[in-house]
Amino acid sequence: MPLAAAAASAREILTGLHDIMAGRGSAQAKLNKVVDLIADKMQSEVCSIYLLRDNKLELFATHGLRKEAVHVTRLALGEGLTGTIAAEGRILNLAEAAEHPAFIYRPETGEERFHSFAGVPIVRLETPIGVLAVQHAESRRYEDIEIEALQTVAMVLSEMIAGARLVDGARRSRLRSAGPLRLTGLKLVTGMAKGQAVFHQPRVIVEHTMADDTEAERERVYAAFRKMREQIEAITREAEFGTAGEHQEILETYKMFAYDEGWGRRINEAIDSGLTAEAAIVRVQQRMRARMREIDDSLLQERMHDLDDLSNRLLRIVSGRMETAARSGLTRDTVLIARNLGPAELLEYDRRRLKGVLLEEGSLTAHMTIVARAMGVPVVGRLTDIRHSVEEGESVLVDGDNGSVIIRPNRVLAGGFEHRLALRQKRRAEFDAARSLPAVTPDGLAISVMVNAGLPEDAANLELTGADGIGLFRTEFQFLVSATLPGRERQQRLYAKVLAAAGDRPVVFRTVDIGGDKALPYLTDHKDEAENPAMGWRALRLSLERSTLMKAQARALIEAAAGKVLRVMFPMVSEPWEYEEARALVEEQVAWARSAHRKLPSRVEFGAMLEVPALAETLDQLLPRIDFLSIGTNDLTQFLFAADRADPRLAERYDWLSPAILRFLRRVAGQARAAGVPVRVCGEMGGRPLEAMALIGIGIEQFSITPAAVGSIKAMVRSLDAAACRTRMQQWLERPPPDMRRTLGEWARRHRVAIG
């Protein structure tokens, strides 16, 4: 259907829908008229409504399928295309329905001659209670405006269906017992906490969807936008963290979304179609959530989460229901429960009372996660149905170190938790004390402990962390928080500030690592998008193709390091020729600066990151040309194991203490040592005491880790007999034990190694 015709039919559907809802007749009669209306205006052979009754999806009304199938055809949640939509709460838009893996054929409906299929969930209280679907004999995908029209109809139907009590209501919550319940999720922010469950916000139910006065609804939205922006400005001004950091950049990005004109325009268009202000906000939000499920790019997903958070805030303002737990105030030690949470919403809470956060969604890279880490609040995410598993006011224990939660703990469980909490606090005090001490083993092996950083403040805090320097400065963060490509002068100011703050301590600058899961809108080339972005057009590959980008960064680094040692490291090197091209590009800029009589660095050192396993097979060619080698264990391990490190289902297969990864790293470390090239491990592996102990055992003596881990790694080093560890590691890797992690842990405990 042409776009203009689709737009006209969408408006006609809403007008007709308003007349049907306002007219007389039973709920069944109205549903029958609705499917006829949609089929007519969308020129569709089939339109059907399925509703959830007795936990089955029942065909309630249809135009185009056999009438005798009404109230006879029933599907389980997850069964067929319709059951998939209801179970997952997502949209399906298929040119060939039979090609979808969930497709099943129900002969009593007579649907065998229809090819295309589109369906949207009918949602009530954030839970699907039915499905609205259309089908065509021709094979085609439906236009966005047609899908949005179906979503709007589904929203209006939800109100009528609930009022007529045609369905079970929201899906039955998980049965709760009086006893304890243990849940396991994804650990987002480490730490332990206890408190009483408090729900972040009550659900805002849209009671009226069809507008009587479009202009009045538009003015309500304008007023809500003004109030929301005032709130965001106040939150940004009042956020207190002691020092600047990554979270402040995130708040600025969050504020940018609050002023996004495109978002407001889409809500306005929804109001123009005849919706109330509340219904328009929800319609745009639902479409946004549907698109978010289709996006593989984690950075863009987190930006969409910010918009989802802002949609909830705008909806509460326009409906006059601002009674979040933050607004009413916390009166006790609290563990906050939410589906998801935005950074601004988190900052509204009293930090003295907020002890932990539990989320049904959430991710490691979410802006809220970064802000919570700055606040020191433990967070566990991916807790399926958590909001239906706990009652307001019930006792909750949060173990962010293990990603576990205990609801309604008994005396024994509570006592065990208190004991572990006391031990953790004692260890934390010991680790803090170890920060200022040298990282030298009792048998005299000196270990270099540096930190990974991305902001000038990280360099300024080196004295506080006790680190020897910055082993990896992520230059891409400046690109990620910017709406446009940062210019050379802006980059130079940042790098100069970092070097000045670090003083005499070394700083290793990793050239920009963007692309893949860190895609930037202003550099995205949609024709080059891949299904596996982590192994696609990113990092050094992108920089070499966009050579002007790398030249500008190289010149900025050279000028910022005037009179100092400049250490440059290239990410994701696959083959030596890539390193050679990148080095030649930087050396060209050094030559340019010399010819322009600019002040040069006293020395330039070049390094490569070993993240792609193929590079290990050509180290004999690479090592003579580099000054240092850094092993990026995060990407390297997922490539070696073919296991996405962000996928919780593969957590057990992503083990840094596997003999495979340890043997690989031992071989690399041995070759580098033989060539006289320093080798450093950069990544989360080096920041875990047991893993770091194993790395020392295979010959690694330099680490670059998260600042929070410096104390625990130094404490481990100062308690480790390195020679004994290396002897045992040699034996274990020759004949690996069944469980390397367990074997290492037992050895460490017997030898009183401080592994936490």
pLDDT over 80 (residue 753): yes
Higher pLDDT, 147 or 45: 45
E strands within 345-403?
Answer: 354-359, 379-381, 395-399
| Percentage of the chain exceeding pLDDT 90 | 38
| Adjacency order of strands within the sheet including 74-76 | 74-76, 56-63, 46-53, 127-136, 116-124, 92-94
pLDDT of 117: 94
- The better pLDDT of the pair 400, 538 is held by 400
φ, ψ at 107 (rounded to 5°): -60, -30
User: Measured in Å, how far apart are the chain's first and last C-alpha atoms?
Assistant: 64
Hey, which residues does 405 pair with through a beta bridge?
183, 398
Q: Output the CA–CA distances (angstroms, integers) from residue 136 to 31, 40, 43, 118, 389, in the order listed.
A: 20, 12, 9, 9, 41
- Out of 222-226, 314-318, 607-611, which region has the weakest mean confidence (pLDDT)? 314-318
- Please, what sign has the CA dihedral across residues 491, 497, 502, 505? positive
Where in 640-678 does DSSP place strands (E)? Answer: none
**C-alpha span between 683 and 685 (Å, rounded):** 5
pTM of the full predicted structure?
0.54
- If one compares 202 and 352, the residue with the highest pLDDT of the two is 352
pLDDT for residue 713 is more than 90: yes
Query: Do 186 and 376 form a contact (C-beta atoms < 8 A)?
Result: no
Instruction: State the pLDDT at residue 172.
Output: 38
Residue 450 pairs in a beta bridge with 704
Q: What is the pLDDT of residue 399?
A: 92
Average pLDDT for residues 407-422, to the nearest whole number? 88
Q: What is the pLDDT of residues 671-702, one digit of tens each?
A: 999 999 999 999 878 988 999 999 999 999 99
Q: What is the pLDDT of residues 372-392, one digit of tens each?
A: 776 778 999 988 778 778 888
pLDDT at residue number 666: 96
Q: Is 2 exposed, middle or buried (0-12, 13-18, 19+ CB in 10 A)?
A: exposed
Mean of the per-residue pLDDT values for the chain?
Answer: 82
What structural domains and CATH numbers belong to the chain? 3-164 (3.30.450.40), 181-419 (1.10.274.10), 435-750 (3.20.20.60)
The residues, any chain, with a CB within 8 Å of residue 87's CB and separated by 6 or more, are 77, 78, 128
For residues 453-463, average pLDDT:
77
Q: Determine if residue 165 is left, alpha or beta; phi over 0 gives left, psi from -120 to 50 gives alpha, anything else beta.
A: left
CA distance 585 to 582: 5
Instruction: Give the C-alpha separation, 629 to 608, whole Å.
Output: 5
What does the pLDDT read at residue 155? 83
- State how far the Cα of 714 lies from the Cα of 447, in Å rounded to an integer: 9
Report, as an integer, the average pLDDT of 177-182.
73
Candidates 336, 337, 338, 284; CA nearest to 308 is 284
Whether the predicted pLDDT of 88 surpasses 80: yes
Q: What was the pLDDT predicted at 17?
A: 81
% of the chain exceeding 70 in pLDDT: 82
